[in-house]
Structure 1
Amino acid sequence: MTADVVDEQAKKAQDEAENTGKVVAVAAEVPVDISEFTGVARDFDSMRTLTAEAGLISSGAQTSYFFPEGKFPIHYPQMPAWRPLTMSSWWILMLIILALALAGVQEYLCQVSLRDVRDHPKNGGLWKFKKVNSLSVAEYFTWQYAPIMISVFYGVLWQMSDFEVKRLEPFYQLSKKTGATAGESLNMDYLTFLSFLVPLRALRHRQYAVIYSSLGTLVASSLVPVLQSASMTMWPDEKDRNLGDWKAVRVEPAWSRALSACLLIVAACGGALMYAMQRKSGLQSDPKGIAGIAAMATKSHILTDFKGLDQASLPQIHKQLRQRRYILHKSSLWQGEYIKSKEKIHEQGSDPRPLMLRMWAGVPFIGFLFLFTIAVPLLTFVEETGIITQTLPWMMTGIATVIRILWNTMNSDVRMLQPFYLLSLRHAPAKTLTLDYAGTNPLWLPFEAFLNGHYLVMLVAFGSILAEILTVCVSSLSVDGKKFIPGFGGQNQDDDHDGDNSESNDRWNTDQTFRSFWWSFILTMFILIYLISIALLTYAKRSQKFMPREIGTMASVLAFIHQSKMLFSFIDTEKLNSREMTKHLEKSGKTYALGWFQGRDGEDHLGIDEEEISSAYVFGKDWTEGRLRPGRDLTWEVY
């Protein structure tokens, strides 16, 4: 069959689906109406009459399915378009307005500073003073801490949107008129991927919402704080200052214009994201956790594609799914059009741990934290090394930003892994199936984890908040710390009172006060020690291999549940929200586990099911090997 014939057949089938509002199947060039499957097959008892495999509708391996798009209310209700608050139009508009406002304020301050310098070359700037302590607390805070704090908080707002965009993009792909390939949807994982590489992966698949969101977040949360730290300086340079001379706070034009340009780029990303989010998600409510995906798989025959993939790696799963498109139709996942994909599959290792929880990533990360912890006092109190930070005052902020990015990646891995870890311990309560820290506000996450008793998740999430604070604290450490040691910073300078010393190395010639320096230094050291301690604890608790493959994709979850008996509990639940789903599951009083169980087909399977399961899972060991069962042709030697 030529490609033109196939395309024409697909077009006619799609037109028929649009005109009738029914699902149309095409096999061997003959369109067949299969709408009775979507309207009648509402429980597993009736589905057993249609197939030899319990709970699955039989279908030809090369059958294509076409669905109405949702433009005909008579036949098919309008496609749902649920999205979280942080993906709403007004939230994105707020991000755009804030970016433009910050860029405008920055340029205004730059112009004021330049104009005053022209009028007063020796002491012009935003503020002028002879000693730092002559500034009021409000003026000092506005100069030293407010700008970096605002930029860091603005980056957090972008992170909140970015996380949701990356989490829900596969559903947007599935909701397209013709659905999406597995590589674009079921097998797509942005959450456990390194954030600075996400735009490249999104570009490869032309998923523009993720490109705009991830680029905006990277610039807003990484470049903006670094440039902000470098844009406001104290004039003259420290080596040229005398205690009795005038000093001034000035805006450096080059750094300031770079910062404004970055904020304009962020605003542009926000505008592009708002345009890209005009699509519909196809979701009735938040698809939280394992339960959210399981509820979508009880009406269709999509689970047949996961036969034999119990222990398969993600590349092996992708290899089996690549010959078909998939679609989200009436809150259920369906097979779509059969395609002949020649996509090359790159076989990877079978390590089931997310990237940042593997020891080859953990050891360098902890080593980097340890070295930076040692470097902070060296760069602060040793004159020879302190020249580096005094010459490059933005360097400390840049390093703190790298730490924040890596820590957030580890945080994302830990919070996504938590439900599966609880299931691996067996007898997990029903709410484990709806547990989804991936969709939780990062500022609220530590409190929710604490209330759930998941203390490691709480500690790691709190570390993410401290990593943001670290970015603010280190911006105050680009000075000669010896001047703030009592007895080394001039006469009578151990408090915030004026002294009589006029030496150029007096601490009042720096841009820090005694209290601000020591609070920043103590907080920096505390945060770094906390991050090292929690990182060590995390790798001790979560670096073990207790899963057969990586998590993060819908396909990985579907492979776990394709023969589970617990799917009976999810019939007609695809429209329930997370809270309603939890109550529905808790009524049965059942507990759940990850391990070996007897599936609906009577065979042994590895996955997630209700207790009692046959055996817990041990990585690298096939529980079925060596087990005698009726019908198996095993000799005593094999046993």
Structure 2
Amino acid sequence: MKRGGLVQFKKAGDLTMTQYFTWKYAPIVFFIFYGILWQMTDFEVKRLEPFYQLSKKTGATAGESLNMDYLTFMSWLVPLRALRHKQYAVIYSSLSTLIASSLVPVLQSASIEMYPPKSEREADGWKSVRVDPPWSRAVSGCLVLVAFCGAALMYAMRRKSGLQSDPKGIAGIAAMATKSHILADFHGLDTAPLNKIHKQLRHRRYILHKSSLWQGEYIRNSKERIHEHGTDPRPLMMRLRAGVPFIVFLIAFTALVPIFMFFDPAGIITEKVPFLMTGLATIIRILWNTMNCDIRMLQPFFILAKRHAPAKTLTLDYAGTNPLYLPFKSMLNGHYLVMLVAFGSILAEILTVCVSSINVDGKKFMPGHGGGDVKGDDDEDDRYNTEQTFRSFWSSFALTMLILLYLIFIAIVTYAKRSHKFMPRQIGTMASVLAFIHQSHMLVDFVDTEKFDSSKMTKHLEKSGKTYALGWFNGRDGDDHLGIDVEPILSEYKYGVDWTESRLRMGQVGQWEHF
């Protein structure tokens, strides 16, 4: 055998722990962390893009700003939506994130290999770690593309946002709507779905100036196409038709792990396609992060729907929280489901690392098998003829199974707790929030607060000692509305029930005997 490579050894166990970790796990760990950093950047870009659009000199249409939702939209389709609206910053950030967090780890798992091939190895012969040129060039090409998109993103972000503070939560949007008549455009949209809101707002441009929203020019002949949305108020990933297949996929993947490890015919697949399991784990991570994002976005509204929510609920914004800090922040707030799902996102990243070891014959690492434990073992049955050590194999296998069982359990709990309909429409857009507050009495609390940051806003609201709720209330115009307002409200919200039609008002019936 022609010797040479990044490192040479006869048995993987001969390497120091540092050498083994650097070869086996460090590259993919590095790229996963690199992908997480891009996810954080992408989230901020998508969250703030509507404000950048509104801050343009002539403002923006509602479809480009108030009605734009990138956060609860499927991540792999975001670049296409951004391209349609020519919002290039989102294109650059979303493409970079998809490549850096999804494609690069998969390619990296296939680019480092042990030489010679399995069929040519000798148990006591020299082995080496080598870089596979085609896969390595693919990784390099992806990183160059990400770098190009990053540079383009930096250039695209050289523009004004029109913000004087970071708008977080429901309060951040409410504070922007107290100095103009913009809320008049939301009349009659209390329970309207997103497409109806879009249809009503499409005849005007909107402007953001000094953290306040203003009405722009009227568009007489709007030709903007209205995409019909379903009336289901839940994000797609929170519906059972998506949740059940996702849980089934998790269970199937969990069953495949021991099959690929301990069943010889199945093991041939992972040997021929070394990135298969990493690719499947990446799909799990993407879907889990989508569910995590939906849970984070829905949490303030879920608290408000239960009524008597504290003032800090209005400034609660898990969407803009660092994903590594999110489990701790939600735990401190007592939002344990958010904490468990957020922790699952971290474990899903770790899962991608662990499954990189699922390309060896697990039977060799069972006690009494492999490694010369049994007299007559040939080279092919020798565990030392693989790229795993006894400890690394069982550690990776146990951690993989524990993570998958955790994800299955939390997914079931999540859909049991959050798959019901407690909102009249999907959230994620500024317009959806504005439609909830356009007749709220609580708006007086947000006058002259557009420059407040989240902590200052929370202290300002808590001084009054008020609590808030999502439900039916008597608005500033004297009519009944569905939205977010100060307690006490008239009634809680139940999906599909128009409380105003069932309410029996004094004066509607002529005689008391009709009651």
Aligned to 1:286: 166
> What do the CA deviations read for 1:190-230 (whole angstroms, capped 9, x no partner)?
00011111000000000000000000000000111011100
Cα shift readout 1:322-346 (whole Å, capped 9, x = no counterpart):
0111010121111111112122323
| Residue pair 2:165, 2:211 contacting (<8 A) in 1 also | no
2:62 aligned residue: 182
In structure 2, the residue matched to 1:360 is: 241
Matches within 5 A, 1:254-403: 254-339=134-219, 340-403=221-284
Question: Which residue number in structure 2 is paired with residue 587 of structure 1?
Answer: 463
What is the CA–CA distance in structure 2 between the aligned matches of 1:175 and 1:429, rounded to whole Å?
32
Offset at 1:634? 8.6
Contact in 2 for aligned 1:244/1:502 (Cα 8 Å): no
Counterpart of 1:566 (choices 424, 428, 442) is 442
Cα distance in structure 1, aligned partners of 2:371 and 2:292: 45
Secondary structure of 1:550 counterpart:
coil
Post-superposition offset of 1:468? 0.3
The one-letter code of the counterpart of 1:629 is R
User: Residue by residue, what CA displacement relative to the aligned partner does 1:105-143 show, whole Å, maximum 9, x if unpaired?
Assistant: xxxxxxxxxxxxxxxx62221112111111121111110
Distance in 1 (CA, whole Å) between partners of 2:470 and 2:121 is 66
Mark the structure with the bigger radius of gyration: 1
Taking the aligned partners of 1:413 and 1:430, their CA distance within structure 2 comes to: 22
Whether 1:598 aligns to 2:474 is yes
Query: Which residue of structure 1 lines up, in the alignment, with residue 496 of structure 2?
Result: 620
Partner of 2:403: 527
Q: Which residue of 1 aligns with 2:421?
A: 545
Shift of 1:241: 1.3
Instruction: Tell me what 1:124 maps to.
Output: 4
Residue 633 (structure 1) shift: 7.5
Is the Cα–Cα contact under 8 Å of residues 626 and 638 in structure 1 kept in the other structure? no
Whether contact under 8 Å (2:232, 2:425) holds in the other structure is yes
What residue is the counterpart of 1:229 in the other structure? 109
Superposed displacement of residue 635, structure 1: 9.8
Q: Distance in 2 between matches of 1:157 and 1:135?
A: 31
| Among 15, 21, 29, the residue aligned to 1:141 | 21
Partner Cα distance (1:347, 1:225) in 2? 37
Which AA in structure 1 matches 2:170? I
How big is the shift at 1:501?
Answer: 6.1
Counterpart Cα distance in 1 of 2:157 and 2:244: 39
Q: What displacement does 1:638 show?
A: 11
TM-score by length of 1: 0.79
Q: Deviations over 1:496-542 (max 9, x none)?
A: xxx99653320011100000011100010001000000000000000
Could you report, residue by residue, the CA deviation over 1:252-296 in whole angstroms, capped at 9, with x for unpaired residues? 000000100000000001000000000111111110000000000
Amino acid at match of 1:438: A
* CA separation of 1:331 and 1:633: change in aligned 2, threshold 3 A: farther
Write the deviation string for residues 461-509 of structure 1: whole angstroms up to 9, x where unpaired.
Answer: 000000000000000111111111111113249xxxxx99653320011
Q: Give yes or no for contact 2:370–2:377 (8 Å, CA) kept in 1.
A: no
Answer yes or no: is the 8 Å Cα contact 1:447–1:458 preserved in 2.
yes
Task: Map Cα deviations across residues 546-587 of structure 1 (whole Å, 9 max, x no partner).
Answer: 000000000000000000000011111111110000000000
Decide which moves more: 361-370 or 346-355.
346-355
Q: Distance in 1 between matches of 2:504 and 2:393?
A: 70
Q: Helix, strand or coil: the match of 2:500? A: coil
Q: In terms of mean alpha carbon deviation, does 307-316 or 338-347 score higher?
A: 338-347
**What SS does the corresponding residue of 1:249 show, helix, strand or coil?**
strand
1:158 aligns with 2:38: yes
3-state SS of 2:471 partner: strand
Which is worse superposed, 628-637 or 195-204? 628-637
The reply on whether 1:443 has 2:443 as its aligned counterpart is no
The 8 Å contact of residues 190 and 481 in structure 2, kept in 1 or not, is answered as: yes
- Relative CO higher for 1 or 2, CA cutoff 8 Å, sep ≥ 6? 2
Please list every run of 5 or more consecutive structure 2 residues that lacks an aligned counterpart in the other structure. Answer: none
For residues 501 and 166 of structure 2, the distance between their equivalents in structure 1, rounded to whole angstroms, comes to 40
Q: Is the 8 A contact 1:421 1:546 kept in 2?
A: yes
Residues 51 and 161, structure 2, Cα contact 8 Å, conserved in 1: yes
Residues 71, 293 of structure 2: 8 Å contact kept: yes
RMSD: 1.7
Q: Provide the C-alpha distance between the structure 1 equivalents of 2:9 and 2:490, rounded to a whole number of angstroms.
A: 76
Residue 625 of structure 1 aligns to a residue in which SS?
A: helix
**Identity across aligned pairs (percent)?**
73
Say whether the 8 Å CA contact 1:242–1:502 is kept in structure 2. Answer: no
CA–CA distance in structure 2, aligned partners of residues 352 and 504 of structure 1? 57
Separation in structure 2 between the aligned mates of residue 436 and residue 127 of structure 1, nearest angstrom: 48
Q: Within 1, Cα distance between the matches of 2:164 and 2:260?
A: 54
**How many Å separate the matches in 2 of 1:344 and 1:283?**
29
Conservation of the 8 A alpha-carbon contact between 2:166 and 2:454: yes
Aligned to 1:405: 286
What TM-score comes out, normalization by structure 2 length? 0.97
For residue 349 of structure 1, report the CA deviation from its aligned partner. Answer: 1.9
Q: Which residue number corresponds to residue 423 of structure 1?
A: 304
Whole-angstrom distance in 2 between the partners of 1:125 and 1:505: 25
Following superposition of structure 1 onto structure 2, how do residues 73-152 of structure 1 map, counting pairs within 5 Å?
Answer: 122-152=2-32
Indicate yes or no: 2:433 matched with 1:557: yes
Contact 1:362 1:539 in 2 (8 A): yes
Structure 1: where are the runs of 5+ without partners?
1-120, 494-498
Q: Which is worse superposed, 622-631 or 474-483?
A: 622-631
Q: 1:433 aligns with which of 296, 314, 317?
A: 314
Residue range with higher mean Cα deviation, 270-279 or 338-347 = 338-347
Given that 2:165 and 2:450 are in contact with CA atoms closer than 8 Å, whether structure 1 keeps it comes out as no
Offset of residue 637 of structure 1: 13
Distance 2:25 2:511 in 1: 75
TM-superposed CA distance for 1:630, in Å, is: 4.6
| 1:261 partner letter | G
Correspondence 1:487 to 2:385: no
